[in-house]
Amino acid sequence: MHSFVRSSLFATTILASAAIGLPSAHAEDVAANAVSATSADDDQGTTSIGTGARDRGADIVVTARRRNESSQEVPLAISVVGGEHIDATGSFNVGRLQQITPTLQFYSSNPRNTAVNIRGLGVPFGLTNDGIEQGVGIYVDDVYNSRVASATFDFLDVAQVEVLRGPQGTLYGKNTTAGAINITTNQPTFDFEGKAEVSVGNYNFKQAKAAISGPLSETLAARLAISSTSRKGTIYNVTTDEHIQSQDNLGVRGQLLWKPTSTIDVTLAGDFSTQDANCCGSVYVRTGLTQRALNRQFAALAAAQGYAPPSTNPFDRLTDLDTPLKAKNKIGGASLRVKWELGEGTLTSVSAWRFWDWDPSNDRDFTGLPIVALSQNPSQQDQYTQELRYNYSADKFDFVVGAFGFYQRIDTQGTESQGSAASRWSINPGSDTAAPPGSSGCGPTASNQLACNPSVLNGLVAYNTQYLKNTSAALFGQLSWHITPELTLQPGVRLNYDKKEGYYQRRVFDGAGNELLLTGPTSAVKTAQLAIYTPQEISPEFSDWNFSYDFTASYKVAPDVLLYATYAKSFKSGGINQNGVPVDAQNNPILASATVKPESVHHYEAGIKTQFWDRRVTFNLSIFRSDIANYQANVNNGQYGVLRGYLANAGEVRSQGVEADFSVRPSERFNAYVNGAYTDATYRKFVDAPCPPELSGGTVVTGTQTPGAAGVPNALSPANCDISGQRLPGVSKFSFSFGAEANVPATILGKEGEAYLGYDGSVRTNFSSNPSPSAYTWVDGYSLSNFRAGFRTEAGFNVYGWVRNAFDQNYFEQLFVGPGNTGLIAGLPGDPRTWGFTVSSNF
């Protein structure tokens, strides 16, 4: 079905692109569509990062404060990317958007385990836990998307993306402590219009996008958009003889606009997107010494079983994963938005339902050996939201007041099983651990006999059943008081209630199908098996009220110079551990770990927004600091038999830094931009954090014992580590994006237009790829360069060639610590050089 739809769409859009010719889609055209999403009568020109309006002095119109206004008038750090620049740079999802917005961080080992952070804050880095909230809200046409997996899907007919930095709780439905990504799609129009775009490239890349809009009657208009992306994978699996990390996305969005009077707009929208990629895997990167016995580390264990990775060079892009990979992902829903203009204000109601279905299969041992035979946690989510708000604008006062309700239900059914190599890799052989490297390790002790007996763990399986009921309700409001034409004071408040009810059950069965219980007879075999999977059943709950507020003062020093300062007291709701909790010495769940406290955020920010040289130049600067108490950290432990990830509260975290945005357009023939950020995001106090692999794997210290040195086999390992002062994962201290585009008049095949050349680059310094920084998981900094060159006509045809990662930079998106503290480090290489061609038309 995917293939048929994709082929039909591809053929249709090729014909449409070739046949249709209209004015080229410059930024002012695209952004005007964005504005129509909120006001069909507002035709104010706009611009966006990297493109710029053709006319100097045109404003970037945004809806960050739930009303149409110039971004230079908003006392808030905000990046705006227009639809044209999204297309031109190949930023067809949030993940690719990070290359042109330096303070946005995106990490994804698969759609479920995806993190979208701003300034290093948002969600804990690592495996996803459904029991906590996002710190970065993703909104599409006013509808909150609670699952960050939505960030991995293709943008559908997007007009504009606004990235708001800092706490957003007094203007938006769901409270978010780090920021929000506000996506506005093109809306139905009462003038017939459409667009079509086709791209082809190496790695069998094919992408087709099309949209059509127009009237059905004098009061009813419709819009339909569809998008398809496919690409061969960039990593070759020698075990299965196929490429992995492919792309296979298909999405459709339809909208109906009913305008019975000049003051009422009713928009009914529905969308559906699906992914069915051969994904998601990793490659061997390296090994590093841990405190495990040397003959129990990766090199010795691999040699004893005659195993070697397909390549020790990760950029050969070879893997040998032996578990079938699957990442089926479906997301969609429907919304009803009613806007009613009442005097000087607008009453808006947004009702929405969304669903998310996730069907995965992963290889969690990162090797071609049958250690972890299966790891999958399919889940299904239904989400319901209702937002009601009233916006009022006048000379002296602007305000927004609103109410928001949210309900979410997630059901998950997990299966994890061990393979025939698991005993050797996972059972601690005890007293014979000093055996020399390369030895079999199969000494006379009982524990060694267990480790060398494949049947002990082969077929051991755990079935996990869990659900989450998440309810939230809020009242919020923000007032802008224009004391003078230059001075504005802006207070905001939010009252919030959250309740989470969860359930987690793990049942364990041995290879013969017998259920393992904590009660009853014990044996050495049963003890070894329970050390891998422990039965557990808990029903965690959390509920709490929170009051938050913010205050902003802004002053117009000159018509094009705005100063502002903000203080915000915000929070992120408490959470529950939905993936189980640690156990005590008797394998009983430690119930004190079942819930995590709310984060308490104190945020400070000051900035200046300027335009000069007859508005040819825009320069914005902001400084910020966020202090977070009870930071919700994702705690990982590499030992087999210990939960791979659960939530805990770190004492204190701080993120502070400086951001600058610069753009210049001296004429319609040239524009350029440079955006940069310095981010210092660290744990200020985290004294009981999980230890990195080089300080793990040995016998855990007790009493007054002194831990051994890092990376020394057979050393004593600390029970936990103090990582206070160390950097948060995933955060580069410096990140930049920059680019330029130049054009000249040209005539090709009798068609008048302009030839253009564009460049977009990004640079980021190193970052940690483990929640507790490890010497083995620092990702080196890297730079990427993207070029495009083409021809567009005023009659409406645009064709260009593009190359991304033009200099074929080798870099990692993430590094992973292999389970069991064997010292294995796996990784996900970033895309190699890709190139292709795009043809598009608007009509």
pLDDT tens for each residue of 57-84: 456 787 767 777 888 989 999 988 888 8
SS (H, E, C) 304-340: HCCCCCCCCCHHHCEECCCCCCEEEEEEEEEEEEEEE
Q: Region 599-606: what's the mean pLDDT?
A: 97
What's the one-letter identity of residue 77?
Answer: A
Round to whole Å and give the CA distance between 13 and 841. Answer: 9
> Integer distance in angstroms from the first to the last C-alpha of the chain?
29
Cis peptide before 452 (omega within 30 of 0): no
721: DSSP letter? B
Per residue in 146-172, pLDDT (tens digit) is: 888 777 888 889 999 999 999 988 888
Q: Which domains does the chain have, with CATH numbers?
A: 2-674+687-842 (2.40.170.20)
- Choice between 84 and 746, residue whose per-residue pLDDT is larger: 746
Q: Which residues contact 41 (CB under 8 A, 6 or more apart)?
A: none
Per residue in 211-223, pLDDT (tens digit) is: 999 999 999 999 9
Per-residue pLDDT at 47 exceeds 50: no
Helices (H) and strands (E) in the chain, counts: 8, 44
CB 206 within 8 A of CB 229: yes
Round to whole Å and give the CA distance between 695 and 693. Answer: 5
Per-residue pLDDT at 55 exceeds 70: no
**The pair of three-digit structure tokens given for residue 508, joined into one six-digit string:** 């364990």
Per residue in 815-835, pLDDT (tens digit) is: 999 988 899 999 999 999 999
Among candidate residues 631, 627, 633, 574, the one with its CA nearest the CA of residue 598:
574
Percent of the chain with pLDDT over 70: 89
User: Which parts of 451-486 are beta strand (E)?
Assistant: 461-482
Task: Indicate the pLDDT class of residue 438, thresholds 50, 70 and 90.
Answer: very low
For position 557, what pLDDT does the model report? 97
For position 441, what pLDDT does the model report? 54
Per-residue pLDDT at 568 exceeds 70: yes
What's the one-letter identity of residue 112?
Answer: R
HSE on the CB side for 700, CA within 13 Å?
6
**The pair of three-digit structure tokens given for residue 758, joined into one six-digit string:** 């564009």
For position 188, what pLDDT does the model report? 97
Per residue in 489-527, pLDDT (tens digit) is: 999 999 999 999 999 999 999 999 999 999 988 898 998
Strand partners, 13: none
For position 205, what pLDDT does the model report? 97
- Choice between 185 and 125, residue whose per-residue pLDDT is larger: 185
Task: Indicate the pLDDT class of residue 448, thresholds 50, 70 and 90.
Answer: low
Asked which of 17-26, 443-452, 670-679 is least confident by mean pLDDT, the reply is: 17-26
Per-residue pLDDT at 613 exceeds 70: yes
Burial class from Cβ neighbours inside 10 Å (0-12, 13-18, 19+) for residue 192 reads exposed
For position 445, what pLDDT does the model report? 57
For the chain, the C-alpha Rg in angstroms (whole number) is 27
Average pLDDT, the chain: 88
What's the one-letter identity of residue 666?
Answer: P
- Choice between 15 and 197, residue whose per-residue pLDDT is larger: 197
SS (H, E, C) 203-226: CCEEEEEEEEEEECCCCEEEEEEE
For position 284, what pLDDT does the model report? 98
For position 18, what pLDDT does the model report? 45
94 sits in which H/E element: helix 94-97
For position 843, what pLDDT does the model report? 86
**The pair of three-digit structure tokens given for residue 774, joined into one six-digit string:** 């490890």
Q: Region 736-740: what's the mean pLDDT?
A: 96
For position 26, what pLDDT does the model report? 35
Highest mean pLDDT out of 174-183, 211-220, 299-308: 211-220
Per residue in 1-39, pLDDT (tens digit) is: 555 455 555 554 554 444 444 333 333 333 334 334 333
Percent of the chain with pLDDT over 90: 67
**The pair of three-digit structure tokens given for residue 299, joined into one six-digit string:** 């090199």
Round to whole Å and give the CA distance between 601 and 792. Answer: 48
Q: Which residues contact 146 (CB under 8 A, 6 or more apart)?
A: 134, 174, 354, 381, 383, 406, 408, 470
Q: Which own/partner contact pairs does 607-611 have at CB distance under 8 Å and 24+ positions apart?
A: 607/75, 607/77, 607/563, 607/564, 607/565, 608/561, 608/562, 608/563, 608/564, 609/72, 609/561, 609/562, 609/564, 610/560, 610/561, 610/562, 611/72, 611/560, 611/561
For position 154, what pLDDT does the model report? 86
Round to whole Å and give the CA distance between 542 and 475. Answer: 20
In the block, tokens 């991995």 appear at 152
Any idea what the Cα angle at residue 760 is, between residues 757 and 764, rounded to 5°? 160
Task: Indicate the pLDDT class of residue 432, thresholds 50, 70 and 90.
Answer: very low
Round to whole Å and give the CA distance between 159 and 153. Answer: 16
In the block, tokens 């009242």 appear at 475
For position 552, what pLDDT does the model report? 97
Burial class from Cβ neighbours inside 10 Å (0-12, 13-18, 19+) for residue 198 reads buried
CB 829 within 8 A of CB 234: yes
For position 212, what pLDDT does the model report? 97
- Choice between 759 and 578, residue whose per-residue pLDDT is larger: 759
Per residue in 387-402, pLDDT (tens digit) is: 999 999 998 999 999 9
**CA 246 to the chain's CA centroid:** 18
β-sheet with 283-287: strand ranges across: 283-287, 824-829, 812-817
188: DSSP letter? P
Round to whole Å and give the CA distance between 260 and 253. Answer: 23
